[in-house]
């Protein structure tokens, strides 16, 4: 039989395995600056009518982010200035394309013109201490500035391109794009082994909800390692419109898993490595043609690094 004294010793040992609680959140200092690189790689396999089609895409974005100001409530204005974009993509319909904004080709590939026009532009975010994006000031004219820099071929519908850019670079879209990087922090103090949830909804590439579970794995005086596990499910089954009457319905689910290295002083994610898997069915709708249904599998990797 276990004695009371033994139970007390066991309780003390279990308590000793737990760390003292720490705070994780954004504590940005006005006037500081970092360089950021975001690399995204994916391989997509579609099976249509017994035929298997594979496409790949590797994109690297680099930007300088500067903390322009910080308010007494802890919120901060962060300016992201894009200065380089690279892409290599392969697809059965167009073959292989390569683009680097440092050495752009004479004719920029259509798939890369948005990246090409974004280089040299700046986006500002107002963030609170939990990484929530409160506002995106000045985003209203961003899409039009991008559009005016584009050199669209005659085959592209200019009005549709402008509308797509306005949707892509809207305040809601920028929140969706940046939340996975910044909106990761717990509410209150956490100890080693503690878990917390953050949920994100997004409209791109199709309406979905991403439920993120974070776990504090370890920490030292300078950094904390946080494990991420995410589940992605579609929201509704309405087709996504692509212009000229074309659309697609996604019935796709997936998972994402990886780790983040967080700077305890500022709360910034210094390193992030995430693996993603999606699978399901996509139905394509094209005016004047039969609907096409495809089985979809996606494997992706996301790497994020900050140089202070």
Q: Which of 77, 304, 283 is nearest to 181 (CA)?
A: 304
Q: Which of 160, 256, 240, 175 is nearest to 205 (CA)?
A: 240
Taking CA 105 as the corner, what is the angle to CA 102 and CA 106, rounded to the nearest 5 degrees? 125
Tell me the pLDDT of the chain (308 aa) as tens digits: 455 555 455 444 444 455 789 999 999 999 999 999 999 999 999 998 888 999 999 999 999 999 999 999 999 999 999 999 999 999 988 899 999 999 998 888 878 888 888 899 999 999 999 999 999 998 888 888 888 887 777 877 778 777 777 777 788 888 888 888 899 999 999 999 999 999 988 877 788 899 999 999 999 999 999 999 999 998 888 888 876 788 899 999 999 999 999 999 999 999 999 999 999 999 999 998 889 999 999 999 999 999 87
Domain boundaries, the chain: 27-307
Q: What is the pTM of this model?
A: 0.86
d(CA 17, CA 239): 50
d(CA 82, CA 101): 11
State in words which class domain 27-307 has. mainly beta
- Those residues with Cβ within 8 angstroms of residue 164's Cβ, 6 or more apart along the chain or in another chain: 243
């Amino acid at each position: 039989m276990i004695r009371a004294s033994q139970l007390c010793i066991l309780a003390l040992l279990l308590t000793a395995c737990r760390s003292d609680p720490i705070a994780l959140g954004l504590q940005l200092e006005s006037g500081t600056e970092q360089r950021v690189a975001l690399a995204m790689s994916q391989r997509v396999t579609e099976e249509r009518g017994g035929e298997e089609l594979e496409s790949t895409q590797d994109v690297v974005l680099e930007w300088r982010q500067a903390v322009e100001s910080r308010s007494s409530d802890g919120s901060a204005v962060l300016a992201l200035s894009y200065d380089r974009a690279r892409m290599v993509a392969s697809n059965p319909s167009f073959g292989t394309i390569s683009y680097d904004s440092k050495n752009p080709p004479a004719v920029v590939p259509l798939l890369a013109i948005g990246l090409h026009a974004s280089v040299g532009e700046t986006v500002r975010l107002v963030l609170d201490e939990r990484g929530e994006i409160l506002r995106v000031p000045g985003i209203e004219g961003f899409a039009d500035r991008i559009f005016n820099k584009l050199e669209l071929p005659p085959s592209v519908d200019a009005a549709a391109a402008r509308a797509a850019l306005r949707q892509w670079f809207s305040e809601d879209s920028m929140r969706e794009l940046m939340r996975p990087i910044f909106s990761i922090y717990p509410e209150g103090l956490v100890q080693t082994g503690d878990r917390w949830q953050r949920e994100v909804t997004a409209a791109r590439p199709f309406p979905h909800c991403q439920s993120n579970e974070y776990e504090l794995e370890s920490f030292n005086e300078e950094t904390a390692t946080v494990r991420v596990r995410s589940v992605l499910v579609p929201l509704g089954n309405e087709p996504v419109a692509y212009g000229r009457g074309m659309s697609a319905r996604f019935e796709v689910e997936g998972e994402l898993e990886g780790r983040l290295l967080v700077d305890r002083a500022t709360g910034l994610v210094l390193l992030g490595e995430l693996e993603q898997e999606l699978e399901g069915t996509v139905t394509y709708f094209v005016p004047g043609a039969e609907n096409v249904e495809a089985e979809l599998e996606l494997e992706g990797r996301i790497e994020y690094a900050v140089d202070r």
